[in-house]
Amino acid sequence: MQGQGIEGKEKGRTGSIPSSAARAHIAESIKRRAASDELIKGWYTYIPAVAVIFGLLTLAILIYIAGLETGILLGLFFMFCVGFAIMAVLNYKLVKRYNAHAKREAALRTGIIEFVRAAAEEQGMMEQVANEVSTMESVNRDALAHEREASLLATPFAAVPLAGFVAEYYALHAITGPAATHDRRWHALMQQAHSAATKLGFELMLPSSKVIPKRSFALYLVLSLALFPFLAYWYFVLIKDMNEHFEAQWTVEDSLMSTLK
């Protein structure tokens, strides 16, 4: 169910264009963040807790109706089914925003590389920033090759018994591991851009030193199956991690726009 790489048609190496055109590309990419980088707040953040509560209630009711042994067997199955069904809406939202943000950032990375290259060529300093540009292009190629667009079509199937198990964990897998790697690529790119900018004589803000923690999908999978309420915590950190990534990146982008004016 994996899609094609984000902006897969783009090449890792960018061509030479005027710095004014590169500025426009950066500005356009940043402008798109209002549509792509959605902070998940409010009642959406309570969906995982509601799903866990309804799942546990289903378990308790079935134990009461069918007796302890049969009730546990049926209850555990339907506990996950009910919980996953409630989570389907949130899965769609989480996967959609990750796909949209990754696509926007791919365009932004390209714009930043284009600008550094163009500014260096205009100043006759390409040799001085060649290492930084090469590293930035390597980071960009790596992102384009590995940041895969997850299927949105799979997310509603979390509401379907049995199939819901596959769809639920597919959605969680699609955003658990990639988020931390995506964040580190952004930091790596901007560190090189900052170094090049310093050599070229203009200021460029470094990202915050805080990065998204690496989270093991396999470990979280086992914990959520063994202890159903852990699922609520899993969603909590997924929402929190990407919200913080967006807000930290916006600060850098706002500084970048001020620099390029």
**Where do the DSSP E strands lie in the chain?**
none
Residues 47-95 have pLDDT tens digits of 888 888 887 888 788 787 877 777 776 766 666 777 778 888 889 999 9
Please report, to the nearest 10 degrees, the dihedral formed by the alpha carbons of residues 190, 192, 198, 200 taken in order: -110
The C-alpha atoms of residue 209 and residue 182 are separated, in whole angstroms, by 15
According to the model, what pLDDT value does residue 213 have? Answer: 93
3-state secondary structure of 158: helix
Whether the per-residue pLDDT at 103 is higher than 90: the answer is yes
Mean pLDDT of 233-256: 94
Helix (H) or strand (E) holding 42: none
- The number of beta carbons lying within 10 Å of the beta carbon of residue 153 is 11
Residue 220 pLDDT class (50, 70, 90 cuts): very high
The C-alpha atoms of residue 226 and residue 80 are separated, in whole angstroms, by 11
Label each residue of 106-131 as H, E or C: HHHHHHHHHHHHHHHHHHCCCCCCHH
According to the model, what pLDDT value does residue 163 have? Answer: 76
Residue ranges of domains in the chain = 19-29+88-260
Rounded to two decimals, the pTM is: 0.83
3-state secondary structure of 143: helix
The C-alpha atoms of residue 130 and residue 108 are separated, in whole angstroms, by 20
Mean pLDDT of 142-156: 89
Whether the per-residue pLDDT at 9 is higher than 60: the answer is no
Q: What is the DSSP string of 4-27?
A: PBTTTTS-SS-----HHHHHHHHH
From 2-6, 124-128, 171-175, the region with the lowest mean pLDDT? 2-6
| Total residues belonging to the chain | 261
Q: Which two tokens stand for residue 65?
A: 């109706």
Label each residue of 220-246 as H, E or C: HHHHHHHCCCHHHHHHHHHHHHHHHHH
Residue 17 pLDDT class (50, 70, 90 cuts): low
To the nearest 5 percent, what fractions of the chain are helix, strand and coil?
75, 0, 25
Q: Residue 29 phi/psi, 5° resolution?
A: -65, -40
Please report, to the nearest 10 degrees, the dihedral formed by the alpha carbons of residues 215, 234, 166, 63 taken in order: 140
The dihedral through the CA atoms of 245, 247, 250, 252 has a sign that is: negative
The C-alpha atoms of residue 119 and residue 19 are separated, in whole angstroms, by 6
Burial class, 5, CB count within 10 angstroms (exposed 0-12 / middle 13-18 / buried 19+) = middle
Q: Which residue has the tokens 């086992």?
A: 222
Whether the per-residue pLDDT at 118 is higher than 80: the answer is yes
